Chain A
Amino acid sequence: MLILSGVDYDAIRLSIKVAFAATLLSLPFGVAYAYVMTFFRFRGKVLLEVLVNLPLTLPPVVMGYLLLIGLGKEGWLAPLLETLGVRIIFTWKAAVLASALVGFPLLVRSIRLGMETIDARLIQASRTLGAGRLDTLFTIILPLSRGGIVAGSSLMFARSLGEFGATIIVAGNMPGVTQTIPLAIYDYAGSPGGDRAALSLCVVAIAISVLVLLAHEMLLRKLARRE
């Protein structure tokens, strides 16, 4: 039997909201990055590749700390954020940024794989039929890499649901404000008598992840059938 309090429901809602927002925020950048890396040659490409993939190997806490340095009160971007009247650190937006940063390599990997499997002559055919680069991107490349986009998005969504290290540093762990499912489980696990609640949230996390992965598989199968 699941035991969930109001704060737990808040954590579940926030986790889903953060995962959605992080995925949506990253998607256009992910597509643009994958497009540039797949179809263009330029100096510094390898360096850019290393930088973007860094979150895969760095501890998420390091990513969170770097975000804190950049966006905090004394951070590099503090004057700009102050001018715009935007506060990010220790809000749910910080959790979105943390999830986006950590999940970005997973997103672009899948999209790139999707783009790399497109027959280059289809793109050439499109260009000689009168389509410019952007036209070709939207009418040929994106539709043909939709499998990669779906796969990347669902992986990123699932990764965001589980994001912990960077989030706790940059968004804190405030119940009802910035506390996501992993942070709530962390709280319960460290509190006496919190085992049952922690286990309940674990079950919820597993259920959401299974649903996301099932949806991912079904979408991919549907796309494969259509092709």
Chain B
Amino acid sequence: MELRMELSKSFGGAFNLRTGFTVSGEQVGVFGVSGSGKSTLVSLIAGLDTPDAGEICLDGECFYSSRLGINLPPQKRRVSIVFQDACLFPHLSVEANLLYGHRRCAPQHRKIDPAALISVLKLDGLLGRGVNKLSGGEKQRVALGRAILTNPRLLLMDEPLSALDDSLKLQIIHYLKRVSEKFGIPYLFISHSLLEIRLMTDQVLAMAGGRVVGQTTPEELARERMGQSQVGYINVLQVEKLRKMGGLYVYRWGMEELFVSSGDEQGMAVFELSSRDIILFTKHPEAISARNLLKCTVVDTFPSGNKVGVELKCGHETLIAEVVVQAADDLAIQARNEVYAVIKASSFRRLG
């Protein structure tokens, strides 16, 4: 997929969208805070709103061109949207929702087998139900299925995880990625959450004030923003439960063992850990209350706002920690140094 946008859209005063970029890839993210213009971008690509001037072209075909006088209506663009809160048609059953777009698809584009998709999304048992009786996760799976069944040239996902509980997000991310890859549908994933962007995409457009201000990888963006983010850099740890010990859960993380207070009885788990919750020592600390002490090697350091990010290798696993500039100078933290990372058992937050 190659998306090229060169356009301006004025909303009469406070907010104007003016952007120009070309992006290629199958899993592209658009990151920005609320009001940065992400949703306007979605509306313009889908044809739900019209730019004042410019061009929007996908794989060389222009949906909109003020120069050539082209403005395809939404139903001709083959661009589907998965909205934040699913937006299922409340008067239709799950099955009728799923097939709404499929039935309107031109025969030459009707290539996705509904039965196969329904099976992948595990919706078999829900087909006859009314959509108001579905849980949030089920609704989002139906919305995804409905959009994919139109076999779109581009799938726009506009904050599809924002309305979901944290525990459901990973599950839906799994479905979003799996379905898109299995059926070969490229997507533009819009979110204000850098973590979601990192989990869903391999490149990202950063938006601010109605403009695209950067085009990079999600990892780079997360590191750049770490210093100014209130939550720091979020490390994602995939772990396996070993045992319960003295009120704490013990998990295997690569070659290390982690003590976690918010564990449960499930075998596999994913935890998030903020770079702010890791304390670095250059010497082995003694008599500490924190339950996790990892011996790591500094791989790299990078500046981020008024902080210094420290990339660590702990066993085979990578961890990003952050320290203030003064601490980095005092401890002389640099690549190949050995450090001790101390983490409280309560610093881990269950993701899925």
Residue interface mask A122-164, B partner, CB < 8 A = 1: 1011111111100100011001100000000000000000000
Most chain-A CB neighbours within 10 Å: which of B46, B48, B78? B48
Task: Tell me the residues in window 100-124 of chain B with beta carbons closer than 8 Å to chain A beta carbons.
Answer: 100-101, 104-105
Cβ contact within 8 Å between B48 and A122: no
Task: Tell me the residues in window 30-86 of chain B with beta carbons closer than 8 Å to chain A beta carbons.
Answer: 43, 46-48, 73-75, 77-81, 83
**With A and B bound together, what is the CA distance between A131 and B97 in angstroms?**
13
Asked, given contacts A121-B87, A227-B91, whether A132 binds B46 with beta carbons under 8 Å apart, the answer is no
**With A and B bound together, what is the CA distance between A227 and B132 in angstroms?**
8
Binding site for A on B (CB under 8 A): 43, 46-48, 73-75, 77-81, 83, 87, 89-91, 100-101, 104-105, 132, 146-147, 150
B contacts with A: majority SS: mixed
Most chain-B CB neighbours within 10 Å: which of A122, A124, A129? A129
Cβ contact within 8 Å between B83 and A121: yes
User: Quick one: closest B residue to A144, CB to CB?
Assistant: B91
A sample of 17 cross-chain residue pairs with beta-carbon separation below 8 angstroms, ordered by A number, consists of A121-B83, A124-B48, A125-B83, A125-B87, A128-B74, A128-B79, A128-B80, A128-B81, A128-B147, A129-B75, A129-B146, A129-B150, A130-B101, A130-B150, A131-B100, A132-B73, A144-B90
A contacts with B: majority SS: helix
A82 CB-CB contact with B under 8 Å: no
A119 CB-CB contact with B under 8 Å: yes
Cβ contact within 8 Å between A130 and B87: no
Contacts of B48 in A (CB 8 A): 124, 127-128
Cβ contact within 8 Å between B81 and A125: yes
User: Quick one: closest A residue to B86, CB to CB?
Assistant: A125
- Min CB distance B188 to A, Å, is 13
Contacts of B87 in A (CB 8 A): 119, 121-122, 124-125
Cβ contact within 8 Å between A128 and B46: yes
Contacts of A135 in B (CB 8 A): 75, 104
Cβ contact within 8 Å between B104 and A143: no
User: Quick one: closest B residue to A125, CB to CB?
Assistant: B87
Cβ contact within 8 Å between B75 and A124: no
Residue interface mask A101-135, B partner, CB < 8 A = 1: 00000000000000000010110111111111001
Contacts of A129 in B (CB 8 A): 75, 80, 100-101, 104, 146-147, 150
Other-chain residue from B75, B78, B90, B91 in contact with A127 (beta carbon distance below 8 A): B75
Contacts of B104 in A (CB 8 A): 129-131, 135
